[in-house]
Amino acid sequence: MKLRLILGDQLSSDISSLRDVDAKNDTLLMCEVRAEATYVKHHKKKIVFVFSSMRHFAAELVRSELNLQYVKYDDPQNSGSLVGEVARFLAQGDYDEVIVTAPSEYRLSNEMQSWPSILGIPVTIREDDRFLCTPAEFSNWAKGRKQLRMEYFYREMRRKYSVLMDETGPVGGQWNYDSDNRKPPVAGMTVPDTYRAEPDSVTQEIMTLVETHFPDHFGDLYPFHFAVTRDQALAALDEFITRRLTFFGDYQDAMIQGEPWMYHSHIGLYLNCGLLNPLECIERAEAAFHKGDAPLNAVEGFIRQILGWREYVRGIYWHEMPHYASQNFLEAKRTLPDFFWTGVTQMNCMRQCITETKQNAYAHHIQRLMVLGNFCLLAGIDPDEVNNWYLLVYADAYEWVELPNVSGMILFADGGQLASKPYAASGAYIKKMSNYCASCTYKVTVKNGPKACPFNYLYWDFIGRNDAKLRGNPRMGFMYKSLDRMSTEKRHAIRDDSRRFFKALETNEKGR
């Protein structure tokens, strides 16, 4: 008799731990536990999403006539930890083995290594084969390579799964259409809304629970509209394919004030908890291209996010952990500013992205990378604090996807293992790709002084103070040539503006 544990991000009926389930003898166990809900103070909407999705998935398992034991968060007997709940249920039956699909995060995977000795019973951890590249396959691909660049990994994955391929190679003759996917926003754009599900009684019960037990967690609880069932998640995918995919490619980097969703898919949270599987999303997009319903640049860009980037960052995570979590190549030590929690800042781009994150537990990838992340990079914020923030504020965040994106892509904390150069930018980039600057206290066209956009002088301060670390990077040569041509007066102005800004940050002066 087996006790089969299903984790909160394993809400798939074909999960490996259920493959050979004996419906008459085995027991399935799902638990809402404090340890998982509070190891960081997850956004309130994320807790509602995960708990509601778990309960709805549990109901599906029961309808399939499987013997399921489900522990709610406020159950008086709930021990508050996964190992505690497994031990409690083992004591209630004559089990000879615990079976679980491998956790997605290193901390829990590492913890489970001690479970056999704690529980006094064999614990079989099966591979999570919902992903398209196993950690072993990624390590084999990485072996002997000086640089682990996503583009080359992505090409191998395209070949492996025959995605957007014909008899001569990649469809259209190119592997990557990213250069076609950087159009700035256009005045008067009409952006379709995201998918919205009406909370049912199950979700409403959990919303009340979150109000009661997690009042000090970040984020707005209301309104809540995420999909919490597989059918709803499929409807969300279908809505993206039919209403937004056509313009996703052109405007995937664009940002518009008051339009948090833009043309993105908003399905990362469904993929990462198991309500959707990656191949079905890829196949739906590819089919749209072949039917003439969406252009190649949009479809390839969307597929690259799943088949390329998502699989790649997971590969990096398991290939490099646990040391990856402690890297700080640029020796960044500044504390995360208070306005990351409140949204109270004079920088309109930051205010918009933080406020939308607080409201929605979501921001699209350019908001995360080139506004919020760019600020953290330029300001030299401690990677531990930045990783903690990104992990807790987004509904799609788990450490396997968050850590490589933040430490590697955003902060260059890994020294270039993931990205070939730091993704640093001045205010000019934000002005080009958004309409945020028109409503800002600061002036993006002003380079120095109290009215100047802080991104302008912080960019050059970042370049200057990291000279010893970055000058030798071949992709940074142009920046350092520009810095070398600056007059002494200009350099002093950059230094003085940056010092004044950082001093104001430390005192939370006017939210900066």
Residue 61 structure tokens: 């398992």
Task: Assign a CATH topology to domain 2-126.
Answer: Rossmann fold (3.40.50)
pLDDT in tens, the chain (512 residues): 999 999 999 999 999 999 999 999 999 999 999 999 999 999 999 999 999 999 999 999 999 999 999 999 999 999 999 999 999 999 999 999 999 999 999 999 999 999 999 999 999 999 999 999 999 999 999 999 988 999 999 999 999 999 999 999 999 999 999 888 889 999 888 999 999 999 999 999 999 999 999 999 999 999 999 999 999 999 999 999 999 999 999 999 999 999 999 999 999 999 999 999 999 999 999 999 999 999 999 999 999 999 999 999 999 999 999 999 999 999 999 999 999 999 999 999 999 999 999 999 999 999 999 999 999 999 999 999 999 999 999 999 999 999 999 999 999 999 999 999 999 999 999 999 999 999 999 999 999 999 999 999 999 999 999 999 999 999 999 999 999 999 999 999 999 999 999 999 988 755 56
Distance from C-alpha of 277 to C-alpha of 128, rounded to nearest angstrom: 12
Distance from C-alpha of 209 to C-alpha of 226, rounded to nearest angstrom: 17
Q: Measured between alpha carbons, how far is residue 227 from residues 76, 161, 191, 195, 265 in Å?
A: 29, 28, 20, 8, 13
Domain 339-511 class?
A: mainly alpha
Q: Which residues contact 362 (CB under 8 A, 6 or more apart)?
A: 260, 261, 266, 356, 394, 395, 396
Predicted pLDDT of residue 182: 87
Q: Which residues contact 133 (CB under 8 A, 6 or more apart)?
A: 141, 157, 311, 314, 315
Predicted pLDDT of residue 188: 84
Predicted pLDDT of residue 508: 72
Q: Measured between alpha carbons, how far is residue 48 from residues 204, 209, 273 in Å?
A: 9, 9, 13
Minimal CA–CA distance to 436: which of 337, 363, 360, 510? Answer: 363
Q: Which residues contact 498 (CB under 8 A, 6 or more apart)?
A: 457, 458, 461
Classify domain 135-192+244-320 by CATH number.
Answer: 1.25.40.80
Distance from C-alpha of 323 to C-alpha of 103, rounded to nearest angstrom: 18
Phi-psi bin for 404: left (phi > 0), alpha (psi -120 to 50), beta? alpha
The position carrying tokens 């039919």 is 242
Q: Domain ranges in the chain? A: 2-126, 135-192+244-320, 339-511
